[in-house]
């Protein structure tokens, strides 16, 4: 089957092309970190040219007029080409300089992108992220790293190690946890951490949405191609929807808790409404998780991807003196005391700059100024909390943080060539989930 894998096959072709291309287009030596002169170009590369990656490239180009997109890599040529075509329609098109010899196709295309750039945008599917991050740090590149950053505990440990190495090397590492860059969220979590509602005693969060789309298997697709085209539905690629999507809410819990680690997690979940079809992979469609903290607080998240149901995305943060409401769908956040009096609210006319743009403005300013930022710890911890929730739900067991982070369960198939079976969604209490 491996010879039928587009992602494998095209990688081999692109590797050959890359060695020719690299010889044809030598790029001048460029400092990978430290202060840059204002007229210096910052060469960026995009790995994972889907919807988010295209957006991230655009934001990076808009963040600094010296940024030039010089290389792109994707598992699939059609994804790379449509991303490039979209970028070439934008006002920044003059700084999109990606000729065919700097377009790389295949699951290891990052290897061709890294030598050509100063900054890499890691926007592929999450299952590959820890390895890609490790490669980027080893190559001495500044990094924008989309969430989630890992799908299992070995990935978490790898990301933490990469984040430490990035810090030691003076590299910037920015995360795609975009709410951390949103003005209304920064304002209200600033109030929460500053004690406006007293000590946080609990958080109740919701991420209730509909199912995501699927792609029908096409003739010639290998198992790998098929699963990667439907990556959100496969645990080894996405980490399940709790880790892939609702991790934004988990991150806000982590934020409200000041980055403390939970000590235990109990969770329930199931695959109740998802159709039993290959495109729908092996993931659940609902989870409810409770993370317990040593000093008392309990934080609960309900999440589902089910059609025709009530949708909601908000966070209630309860404190000893008051409680906060964070509206995931609009900047109408407030904090009240227990008499019902509003003691803080986000100004109705408050500016709300695009959080995705702010992420990149912050990263590229840090690079320009030679003052590296490093968001590695919280981005890894938030993902690990979500992984812990998934492990607790799948197994039906109450897990400690230590159980979860020391797990040696690796989700990626041992071989990505040939047949990659579609696993059955685990049954709590029946399917062993290795801790
Ligand atoms: N921060 C946010 O608000 C936000 C929003 C959407 C998506 N995301 C995250 O961004 C990431 C990408 O999501 P998307 O919506 O763009 O998905 P997408 O399917 O549109 O794009 C992913 C791309 O990565 C490519 N890819 C997969 N494996 C690869 C590999 N090994 N090397 C190179 N390319 C590879 C795929 O072919 C695809 O083109 C995910 O982690 C997702 O969770 C974040």
Tell me the best of 85, 125, 313 to mutate to test the pocket of ligand 1, counting ligand atoms within 8 Å of each CB and taking the most. 125
| pLDDT for res 283 | 98
Which residue puts its alpha carbon closest to atom 21 of ligand 1? 50
Read off the pLDDT band of 15 (50, 70, 90): very low
| pLDDT for res 7 | 46
- Token look-up 């010899």 returns 101
5 versus 389: which is more confidently predicted? 389
Asked if residue 258 has pLDDT above 70, the reply is yes
Give the CA dihedral 76, 77, 83, 86, nearest 10 degrees: -150
Read off the pLDDT band of 431 (50, 70, 90): confident
Which residue puts its alpha carbon closest to atom 7 of ligand 1? 52
Read off the pLDDT band of 418 (50, 70, 90): confident
| Atom of ligand 1 lying closest to residue 244 CA | 43
145-183 residue pLDDT tens: 999 999 999 999 999 999 999 999 999 999 999 999 999
Which pair of tokens denotes residue 365? Answer: 């300013």
Alpha helix locations (H) across 302-435? Answer: 355-369, 376-395, 401-405
Read off the pLDDT band of 432 (50, 70, 90): low
How many Å apart are CA 11 and CA 76, to the nearest integer? 9
CA of 125 to the centre of ligand 1 (A): 4
| pLDDT for res 295 | 96
3 versus 294: which is more confidently predicted? 294
Give the CA dihedral 416, 51, 280, 315, nearest 10 degrees: 120
Q: Let me know: does 419 contact 1? Beta carbons within 8 Å.
A: yes
| pLDDT for res 9 | 38
What value does the mean pLDDT of the chain take? Answer: 91
Tell me the best of 76, 104, 124, 360 to mutate to test the pocket of ligand 1, counting ligand atoms within 8 Å of each CB and taking the most. 124
How many Å apart are CA 406 and CA 434, to the nearest integer? 10
| pLDDT for res 39 | 56
207-250 residue pLDDT tens: 999 999 999 999 999 999 999 999 999 999 999 999 999 999 99
Which residue puts its alpha carbon closest to atom 8 of ligand 1? 52
Read off the pLDDT band of 18 (50, 70, 90): very low
CA of 236 to the centre of ligand 1 (A): 14
CA of 76 to the centre of ligand 1 (A): 12
How many Å apart are CA 273 and CA 107, to the nearest integer? 32
Q: Let me know: does 55 contact 62? Beta carbons within 8 Å.
A: no
Whether this model's pTM surpasses 0.85: yes
Asked if residue 123 has pLDDT above 90, the reply is yes
| pLDDT for res 351 | 79
Structural domains for the chain: 2-179 (3.40.50.720), 182-348+375-405 (3.30.360.10)
How many Å apart are CA 194 and CA 351, to the nearest integer? 22
Read off the pLDDT band of 350 (50, 70, 90): confident
Residues with CB under 6 A from ligand 1: 47-53, 73-76, 79, 107, 109, 123-126, 128, 146-147, 176, 178, 228, 244
| Atom of ligand 1 lying closest to residue 132 CA | 31
Tell me the mean pLDDT in the region 112-127.
Answer: 98
| pLDDT for res 433 | 57
Tell me the best of 104, 123, 207, 225 to mutate to test the pocket of ligand 1, counting ligand atoms within 8 Å of each CB and taking the most. 123
Least confident among 8-17, 191-200, 412-421:
8-17
275 versus 322: which is more confidently predicted? 322
Of the candidates 120, 116, 166, the one whose C-alpha atom is nearest the C-alpha of residue 375 is 166
């Amino acid at each position: 089957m491996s010879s039928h894998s587009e992602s494998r096959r095209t990688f081999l072709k692109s590797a050959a092309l890359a060695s020719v291309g690299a010889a044809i287009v030598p790029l001048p030596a460029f400092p990978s970190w430290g202060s840059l002169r204002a007229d210096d170009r910052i060469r960026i590369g995009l790995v994972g040219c889907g919807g988010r990656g295209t957006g991230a490239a655009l934001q990076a180009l808009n963040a600094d007029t010296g940024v030039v997109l010089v290389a792109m890599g994707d598992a699939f040529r059609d994804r790379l080409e449509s991303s490039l075509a979209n970028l070439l329609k934008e006002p920044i098109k003059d700084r999109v300089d990606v000729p065919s010899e700097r377009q790389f196709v295949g699951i290891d295309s990052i290897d061709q992108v890294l030598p050509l750039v100063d900054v890499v945008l890691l926007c592929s599917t999450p299952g590959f992220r820890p390895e890609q991050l490790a490669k980027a740090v080893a190559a001495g590149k500044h990094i924008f790293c989309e969430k989630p950053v890992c799908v299992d505990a070995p990935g978490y440990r790898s990301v933490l190690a990469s984040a430490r190495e990035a810090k030691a090397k003076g590299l910037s590492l920015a995360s795609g946890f975009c709410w951390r860059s949103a003005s209304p969220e920064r304002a209200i979590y600033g109030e929460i951490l500053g004690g406006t509602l007293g000590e946080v005693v609990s958080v109740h969060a919701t991420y209730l949405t509909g199912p995501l789309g699927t792609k029908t298997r096409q003739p010639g697709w290998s198992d790998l191609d098929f699963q990667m085209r439907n990556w959100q539905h496969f645990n080894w690629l996405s980490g399940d929807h709790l880790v892939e999507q609702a991790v934004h809410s988990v991150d806000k819990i982590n934020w409200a808790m000041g980055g403390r680690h939970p000590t235990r997690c109990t969770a329930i979940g199931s695959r109740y409404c998802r159709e039993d079809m290959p495109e729908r992979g092996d993931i659940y469609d609902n989870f409810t998780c409770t993370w317990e903290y040593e000093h008392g607080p309990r934080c609960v998240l309900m999440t589902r991807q089910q059609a025709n149901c009530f949708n909601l995305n908000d966070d209630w943060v309860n404190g000893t003196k008051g409680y906060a409401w964070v509206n995931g769908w609009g900047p109408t956040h407030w904090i009240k005391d227990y008499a019902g009096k509003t003691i803080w609210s986000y100004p109705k006319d408050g500016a709300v700059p695009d959080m995705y743009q702010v992420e990149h403005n912050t990263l590229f300013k840090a690079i320009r100024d030679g003052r590296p930022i490093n968001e590695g710890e919280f981005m890894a911890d938030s993902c690990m909390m979500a992984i812990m929730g998934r492990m607790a739900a799948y197994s039906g067991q109450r897990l400690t943080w230590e159980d979860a982070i020391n797990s040696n369960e690796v989700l990626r198939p041992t071989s990505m060539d040939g047949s990659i079976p579609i696993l059955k969604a685990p049954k709590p209490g029946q399917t062993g989930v290795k801790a």
